[in-house]
């Protein structure tokens, strides 16, 4: 998921996804960045725009992920997008189970103009609800063609159905990772009080949290919480189950582990080493470090709990708990914010959060057959994919959110301070980052023709975005960014299949039916095993594994293995 995200997006905010975490003191590479020349596409789009219909039009859009700072395009960026396109979005974001909502939309026959449904777009495709964008892109989308010129095969739906149903937006083209937003999190105050110890294994992580909780049993009169998990609906993946493969040296391939030599898939919970990760969670619960509300609290309650500053440890992605941490920063409680550590079961394992997937295509924004004007819709998406719109979404308005210094875009200190210390209000007002997941875009580390980065995620700006407490903690570990603590992507081969979670599975396939059965079993059995008495853990785990076999997990694995191999063929034929 990571960073489902990895990865996810890792979401879940409109940023995502994909993103994620890992260990060893490596230095983030700042060279070998890609520079693009989009002048041809830009000039073509600019010439076309002069004669285009920019009259006001509202397009409806549904997105599976929440966007808590969405401001109905009344932010600075949104107003500028409307001025350039004439388009205003009437947005609906998923509440509750997003997959169920997409299923209802698909069955209704009444679709929004645009939809961002991640893997559940398969439901829309099966319902015949999505337009094939191939011809629209060819005729009306020079910026989209330019953006994906090196990866046309990765826009196709499958070997059997080579239509283009979505503009990939959940992963940036030619992205390089500079940030670590996941891993195992600990409050800076606890790490400082422990005198900045090595935090490499689950035992290291546990020791710091226990020592701090023992010394500080309450915060503002309420009990201190060792570790809180977020298991509300799909967040179960991010905070409870995905960490099992990270902690045991697996990359993020969703619910599967893919053999890198044979491309065979196994349901990752059947790996023996993951049993030991869940045994550790059982132990954490037994000694009173696990939040007893971890499997009953709702997402809003979880974030509100983080915002109180009394949760020492998290196992999550920053986009998932970020609202709670932003509240702490707004209140000036920076020492109660979180650092990211590449924790694994033991030092024999290496965190694979940053193993390179290459550009994955996959999840994105599509146009439905209900769209009132598909040509206006594709031209809108084409504008969003332009260099101008990418800079707008990532940097904001020139001379308001950024300035040009020595020929390069630079964020003034006053603006940067507001981004750090009042992040929620800043995003609502500026709109920066709110349009990423409906926008085809270049990834971190890619530079435009001026030499400026398209995104603000590059080492110098990331460091500038840290508060003083973060900088102090990182300096004690002799690194400059959280990612520097993790294994570098250069330590792993590029995955030929990208990420398995990114593979679109037909909604009515047997794999989908079986996967839902496995999810129901897993989401029932894993909490039972974690919350049981330690002496009952092995029996419960054995019963869980037997239930998977009885439910035909091996048939599901065989079917998914075929899809992984088809993905490799699709990308390389």
DSSP string, 254-293: TTEEE-TTT--EEEGGGSHHHHHHHHHHHHHHHTT-B-TT
Q: Which residue in 177, 261, 268 sits closest to 501, CA to CA? A: 268
Q: Which of 19-23, 289-293, 448-452, 455-459 has the highest mean pLDDT?
A: 289-293
Question: The tokens of 510 are what?
Answer: 């047997």
Question: Residue 347: how many CB atoms within 10 A of its CB?
Answer: 11
β-pairing verdict for 403-405 and 408-410: antiparallel
Residue 15's pLDDT band, with cuts at 50, 70 and 90, is very low
Residues 242 and 44: their CA atoms lie apart, in Å, by 44
Q: Which residue in 66, 128, 55 sits closest to 88, CA to CA? A: 55
Residues 169 and 448: their CA atoms lie apart, in Å, by 19
Check whether 9 has a pLDDT greater than 90. Answer: no
In tens, the pLDDT along 245-264 reads 999 999 999 999 999 999 99
In degrees, rounded to 5, the angle at the alpha carbon of residue 539 between the alpha carbons of residues 536 and 545 is: 135
Question: The tokens of 393 are what?
Answer: 């979404």
Helix (H) or strand (E) holding 213: helix 202-215
**Is the torsion defined by CA of 279, 518, 563, 266 positive or negative?**
positive
Express as a percent the part of the chain with pLDDT over 90. 84
> What pLDDT score does 34 carry?
60
Q: How far is CA 410 from the centre of its chain?
A: 26
* Backbone φ, ψ for residue 339 (5° rounding): -105, 165
Question: The tokens of 547 are what?
Answer: 């239930």
Q: Which residue in 260, 154, 171 sits closest to 570, CA to CA? A: 154
Residues 461 and 8: their CA atoms lie apart, in Å, by 24
β-pairing verdict for 114-116 and 364-367: antiparallel
Contact by Cβ (8 Å): 282, 275? no
Q: Give the E-state strand segments of 263-413 in sequence order.
A: 265-267, 311-315, 338-341, 364-367, 403-405, 408-410
The residues, ordered by sequence, that sit 6+ positions from 557 with a Cβ below 8 Å of its Cβ are 256, 264, 265, 266, 267
Helix (H) or strand (E) holding 225: strand 225-228
Average pLDDT score over residue span 207-225 = 97
Average pLDDT in the chain: 91
* DSSP alpha helix (H) spans, 310-373: 318-330
> What pLDDT score does 214 carry?
98
> What pLDDT score does 498 carry?
94
Check whether 46 has a pLDDT greater than 70. Answer: no
Residues 71 and 78: their CA atoms lie apart, in Å, by 8
Q: Where are the domains of the chain?
A: 39-176+360-397+434-445
pTM over 0.85: no
Contact by Cβ (8 Å): 534, 232? no
Check whether 23 has a pLDDT greater than 70. Answer: no
Check whether 39 has a pLDDT greater than 60. Answer: no
CATH class of 39-176+360-397+434-445: alpha beta
> What pLDDT score does 407 carry?
95
Residues 301 and 305: their CA atoms lie apart, in Å, by 6
The residues, ordered by sequence, that sit 6+ positions from 429 with a Cβ below 8 Å of its Cβ are 71, 75, 76
**Is the torsion defined by CA of 289, 295, 301, 303 positive or negative?**
positive
Residue 163's pLDDT band, with cuts at 50, 70 and 90, is very high
Q: For residues 299-336, b (16+ Cβ closer than 10 Å) or e, as one string?
A: beebbebbbbbbbbbbbbbbbbbbbbbbbbbeeebbbb
Check whether 313 has a pLDDT greater than 70. Answer: yes
């Amino acid at each position: 998921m990571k960073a489902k995200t990895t990865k996810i997006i890792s979401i879940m905010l409109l940023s995502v996804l994909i993103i994620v975490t890992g260990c060893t003191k490596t230095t983030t590479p700042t060279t070998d960045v890609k520079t693009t020349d989009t002048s041809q596409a830009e000039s073509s789009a600019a010439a076309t725009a002069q004669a285009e219909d920019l009259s006001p039009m509202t397009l409806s859009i549904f997105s599976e992920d929440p966007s808590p700072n969405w401001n109905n395009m009344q932010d600075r960026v949104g107003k500028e997008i409307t001025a350039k396109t004439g388009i205003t979005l009437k947005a609906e974001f998923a509440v509750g189970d997003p997959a169920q909502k997409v299923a209802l939309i698909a069955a209704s026959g009444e679709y929004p103009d645009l939809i961002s449904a991640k893997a559940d777009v398969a439901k829309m495709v099966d319902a015949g609800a999505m337009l094939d964008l191939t011809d629209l892109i060819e005729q009306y989308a020079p910026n989209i063609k330019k953006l994906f010129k090196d990866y046309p095969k990765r826009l196709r739906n499958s070997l059997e159905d080579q239509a283009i149903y979505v503009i990939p937006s959940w992963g940036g083209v030619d992205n390089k990772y500079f940030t670590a937003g996941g891993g195992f999190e600990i409050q800076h105050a606890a790490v400082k009080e422990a005198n900045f110890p090595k935090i490499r294994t689950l035992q290291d992580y546990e020791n710091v949290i226990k020592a701090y909780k023992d010394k500080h049993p309450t915060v503002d009169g309420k009990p201190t919480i060792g570790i809180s998990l977020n298991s509300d609906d799909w967040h179960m993946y991010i905070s409870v189950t995905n960490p099992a493969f990270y902690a045991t040296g697996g990359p993020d391939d969703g619910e599967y582990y893919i053999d890198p030599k044979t491309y065979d898939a196994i349901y990752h919970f059947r790996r023996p080493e993951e049993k030991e990760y869940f045994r550790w969670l059982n132990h954490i619960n037994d000694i009173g470090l696990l939040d007893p509300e971890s499997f009953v609290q709702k997402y809003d309650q979880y974030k509100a709990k983080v915002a109180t500053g009394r949760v020492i440890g998290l196992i999550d992605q920053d986009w998932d708990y970020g609202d709670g941490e932003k509240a702490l920063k707004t209140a000036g409680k920076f020492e109660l914010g979180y650092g990211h550590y590449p924790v694994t079961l033991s030092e024999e394992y290496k965190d694979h959060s940053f193993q390179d997937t290459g550009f994955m295509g996959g999840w994105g924004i599509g146009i439905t057959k209900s769209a009132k004007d598909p040509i206006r819709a594709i031209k809108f998406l084409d504008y969003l994919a332009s260099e101008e719109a990418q800079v707008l979404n990532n940097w904001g308005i020139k001379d308001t959110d950024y300035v040009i210094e020595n020929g390069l875009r630079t964020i003034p200190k006053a603006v940067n301070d507001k981004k750090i210390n009042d992040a929620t209000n800043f995003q609502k007002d500026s709109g920066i980052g709110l349009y990423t997941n409906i926008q085809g875009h270049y990834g971190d580390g890619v530079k435009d023709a001026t030499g400026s980065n398209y995104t603000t995620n590059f080492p110098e700006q990331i460091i500038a975005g840290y508060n003083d407490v973060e900088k102090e903690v990182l300096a004690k570990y002799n690194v400059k960014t959280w990612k520097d603590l993790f294994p570098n992507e250069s330590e792993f081969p590029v995955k030929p299949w990208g990420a398995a979670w990114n593979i679109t599975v037909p909604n009515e396939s047997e794999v989908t039916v079986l996967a839902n059965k496995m999810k129901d079993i897993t989401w029932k059995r894993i909490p039972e095993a974690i919350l049981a008495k330690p002496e009952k853990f092995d029996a419960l785990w054995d019963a869980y594994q037997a239930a998977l076999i009885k439910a035909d997990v091996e048939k599901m694995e065989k079917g998914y293995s075929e899809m992984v191999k088809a993905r490799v063929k699709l990308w390389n034929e």
